[in-house]
Amino acid sequence: MINKQNFFTRFFGGIRIQLALWNALFFLLIITILAGYFYFGLRRTLYKGAAFFLGHETQEVASMLKRQPFGLELVQWIDKELSERPEYSSSYQILDSKRKVISYAGGGGFEDVLKRLDALQVKKNSEMFFDVKDPKGKRYYVAAYVSADDRGQTVNYIFIGSYLDVIHEKLQIYLDKLFWMLPNLFLMAVIFGWVLAWFALRPVRRITKKMEAITVNKLDERLTLKGSGDDFDRLASTFNTMLARIQNSYERISQFTSDASHELKTPIAVMKNQIEVTLGKKRELAEYQDVLVSQLEELERLSQLIESMLFLARVDNGQVKLHAERVSLGKLLDELLDFFEPLHVSKNVQLAQKLSDEIVVRGDKTLLRQLLFNLVDNAINYNRPGGKVCIEAAPEGHQVVMKISDTGRGIAAEHLDKIFDRFYRVDPSRSSGITNYGLGLSVCKAIVSAHEGTIHVESQLEQGTVFTVSLPF
């Protein structure tokens, strides 16, 4: 059941709402930039319009003043002209050359313009624009024209100004609209983004649902791919690959457990039976001793088996730590050969050792001894009477390549890729005479892998087998 807090976290922490919010924020940013751009564009256009009108009027007045003396007719003309564009609610002032006001209408504020004109290099017979404040502090936009005669003497000062209220009103309306529109747009973008994300993430929900249904008993289930090769298809395909690996490992572990139980069950049943039979009646001391000796041998084999299983389990869990040192393969083999002496003599197998003491690898001595032991033990055990085993090694590049070859029964091609599997024996009935469980080569492979080396086998039936091991220096 989803509780309130969970729902909240799932909703707001969920990818859908995050996508929607990011999308909306981005959208808002773009809209704000665009709105700003249009705001300043509109402002510039409106000001340009006002400047054009005010400037044009000052020019007209100046040229009329040059043509005719100032009089009522001109005042009427100006009033008519200005009243044609009431949105600028213009006012004006005309001064003569001595700066005496000869006509004016509307508000003031032109004194400030006059002061600023004096402070500037005034270009005569052309209009200039000023942003000034009237005595009440209200902004005032003024076109000023200093009209001069042919000799450059100032004849008149003409000022036409406007508070540009209409412009400011228009701009304010724009800003107000924007102010109300932006949050609404943001909300719409969030909702739209959320719906879009909901649709876009449908495959994820499908994958999640399917994944939830996969249990250990259903590891063979796979997600169906749409075949479009999009991100979700790739996700599903990666998941399928991972599932295949898990299934493979799980099956191997199950197989290993069942093989291990089987291998342990048989000798324990035999031992139990032997003890029951022995205890069935009173026996001589020597008989009891014989039984105990045979039980001890069996227990030793079992202990070896358990040790190998434990080692492989530790390798699987990554718990094996190498105590790396420089190990001379020649010396290591010499120690082992003494041990093998009785075996190869009894089997009538010749051992040829072509390893010099200088052949050195970097690795864990105990594990390398186990590796050599398993390979040489197999080479002797699976040999024929009068056969040979040869052990040689040589440096190759950054590695030492060691070969253990024998002239034994060989391994058929169909078994070659399986002999490194746990509990795999080519012919269990023939192996049973030899006390082996099919773990020796799995242990060898694990040891070589732990040393970042490689091991492979070549074999010909009834000719012999060669195991090649490459180990880094």
The residues of the shown chain that bind ligand ADP, judged by CB under 6 A, are 374, 378-379, 382, 406, 408-409, 411, 419, 424-427, 431, 436-442, 465
- Smallest separation, CB 327 to ligand ADP (Å): 22
Look up residue 283 and give its two tokens.
Answer: 């026996």
Q: How far is the CB of 215 from ligand ADP (least distance, A)?
A: 33
As measured in angstroms, the least distance from the Cβ of 227 to ligand ADP is 43
When the beta carbons of 344 and 425 are compared against ligand ADP, the nearer one is 425
162 versus 442: smaller Cβ distance to ligand ADP? 442
Minimum Å gap between C-beta 222 and ligand ADP is: 33
Yes or no: say if 407 and 384 are a contact pair by the CB < 8 Å rule. yes
Write the CA distances from 118 to 123, 295, 357, integer angstroms: 11, 125, 108
Q: How far apart are CA 209 and CA 174, in angstroms?
A: 50
Residue 424 CB, shortest distance to ligand ADP, in Å, is 6
Nearer to ligand ADP, 51 or 390 (CB): 390
Residue whose C-beta lies closest to ligand ADP: 440
* Residue closer to ligand ADP, measured from CB, 162 or 378: 378
Q: Which is nearer to ligand ADP, 356 or 431 (CB)?
A: 431
Minimum CB–partner distance for residue 466 and ligand ADP (Å): 9
Residue type, 209: K
Three-class SS state of 280? coil
Question: Toward ligand ADP, which CB reaches closer, 36 or 386?
Answer: 386
Concatenate the DSSP letters of all residues of 104-166 into one string. Answer: EES---HHHHHHHHHHS-PPTTSEEEEEEE-TTS-EEEEEEEEEE-TTS-EEEEEEEEE--HH
Asked if residue 355 lies in contact with residue 330, where contact means CB atoms within 8 angstroms, the answer is yes
The region, left, alpha or beta by phi > 0 then psi within -120 to 50, assigned to residue 386 is left
In angstroms, rounded to a whole number, what is the distance separating the alpha carbons of residues 178 and 184? 10
**Least distance in angstroms from the C-beta of 407 to ligand ADP:** 10
Sequence-distant (6+) residues with CB within 8 A of 399 are 453, 470, 471, 472, 473
> With respect to ligand ADP, which residue has the nearer C-beta, 156 or 370?
370
